[in-house]
Every structure is written in structure tokens, then in C-alpha cells.
Amino acid sequence: MKEAVILAGGFGTRLRSVVSDVPKPLAPVAGRPFLAYVLDALVRQGYGHAVLATGYMHEKVEACFDNEYLGMKVDYASELTPLGTGGAIVNALQHCTADSVTVLNGDTLFLADLGQLEHYADSKGTQLAIVLRAVPDAGRYGAVETDADGRITAFREKDPSAGAGNINGGIYRLQRHLLDGYTVGQQFSFEKEVMQQRYNSEAFYAYADGAYFIDIGVPEDYLRAQTELPRL
């Protein structure tokens, strides 16, 4: 069974001016919680189990989706104190049985082909594969660079003058053994302490997908989602 972990525990600080009564993944978009669009994409691509890594206002997320969504089993890995993205993934993996899982951000909708990601990760024999997205302003996010074979060679910091480039699209295919050594409840950043610190010593791979992408972390993109998502 295909399994996914969705990071849905963020505070949504930058979005507070327009959404303050629910956690960011539940921000209403055209009458539906944003997270429903992310779950829709998983169902369409054949996923049978999703684990929502929740934190801030976790009870509202659980009340919204319960334990089943359009036939897909839904579990919750709630954190009592912020664990960072790495700690949240380790916590969520306790509810998974597969050796490899797909990890997504609960405040981003990136309609990449997840079957292609699975095949790509397997073909490279890597413990971590990332889907990148080409954007005109990579400086807002920080760019990711690869060699001709797709192996990650650099993570560039946010730079307002960076211009166009490939950014981390927030979708990963990882083997659970990648996080051996980390304990449940340990706080750490997956991006900084795993991806950025280990890509030189371990072969991590990435490729770009041009599918629809939106991150509702800032008010202007959240407002844009109101008209774009219903058209998808």
C-alpha cells in the first residue's frame, strides 16, 4: 500500500492576517480546507494511507478529516511541542509500515506525478529523492542544484537577486532507514540537518516537474489559490 506523510503542524505566522482561527493547512480555499486538495491528489494517485503530522490546533485537523478520506485511511501523529520537520517525520513514520514513504507539505499543493517520483527514487537506488519546481523567483525559497545525472550538488540560500531557478517543491521520497539514529520526540530540521548536511556524503537525487504548484504561506498566494484551485 502506498503511504504518505503530510507535514501539517505549522503555525502559519505569515498567514495570520487573513486566517487566524484554524491551522494553516485548514485555511479555507473556495469553501474547502486547503488540505483537502492535497488529500485529493493522493487519492487520485492511488495512495491508501496518509499520516498527518499535526501540532498547532491538531484537534481541529482531526475533527475535519477523522480517520478516512475518500477511501484512504488517515492517521495522526500529533506533537505536544514543536519537533521541526525532521522530528515530525520520525513521529509520523511510527504509523507507517512501508520501507519507503512519500512526504509532502500540508501548506503546498504540487501536482507532481508521484508514480514517477517512486520510479525515479528506485532507479537511482537513493535513500532520498526530491521533486523540484522551476520558478521565476527562486530567491524567495532558495535554489537546489544538481549534476547531469540528477545528484544534488548544492542548496542555495534565499537570495532576492537569485532570479529563476529550481526550488525544493516540498515533495520527497525517502527510505525510512535514512532517519535511523533519530529518536521519537527529538527536535530537528529535515531540510537543514539531513538534506543540507548529508548530500555531500550520501547520494541524494532530484528532478524538476512542471506541474501546478502553489504555496499558501503568504497572503497574496493564499488569495490567488481562491480562484486557481477550483479550476484544477
Asked if the structure places residue 99 within a domain, the reply is: yes
Asked if the structure places residue 163 within a domain, the reply is: no
Asked if the structure places residue 144 within a domain, the reply is: no
Asked if the structure places residue 141 within a domain, the reply is: no
* CATH at 34: 3.90.550.10
Q: Structural domain of residue 86, as residue ranges?
A: 3-110+117-126+168-200+214-231
Give the three cell numbers for residue 10. 505549522
Asked if the structure places residue 91 within a domain, the reply is: yes
Asked if the structure places residue 132 within a domain, the reply is: no
Instruction: Write out the chain's pLDDT in tens, 232 residues.
Output: 999 999 998 655 555 555 556 788 889 999 999 999 999 999 999 999 999 999 888 889 999 999 999 999 999 999 988 999 999 999 999 999 999 999 999 999 999 999 999 999 999 999 999 999 998 888 778 889 999 999 999 998 777 767 888 999 999 999 999 999 999 999 999 999 999 999 999 999 999 999 999 999 888 898 999 999 999 8
Give the pTM: 0.93
Distance CA 126, CA 153 (A): 15
Q: Please check whether residue 89 is in contact with residue 103, taking contact to mean a CB–CB distance below 8 angstroms.
A: yes
> How many distinct structural domains can be found in the chain?
1
The DSSP bridge partners found for residue 4 are: 50, 102
Q: Please check whether residue 14 is in contact with residue 60, taking contact to mean a CB–CB distance below 8 angstroms.
A: no
Report the amino acid identity of residue 93. L
Asked if the structure places residue 143 within a domain, the reply is: no
Asked if the structure places residue 28 within a domain, the reply is: yes
Q: Please check whether residue 111 is in contact with residue 212, taking contact to mean a CB–CB distance below 8 angstroms.
A: yes
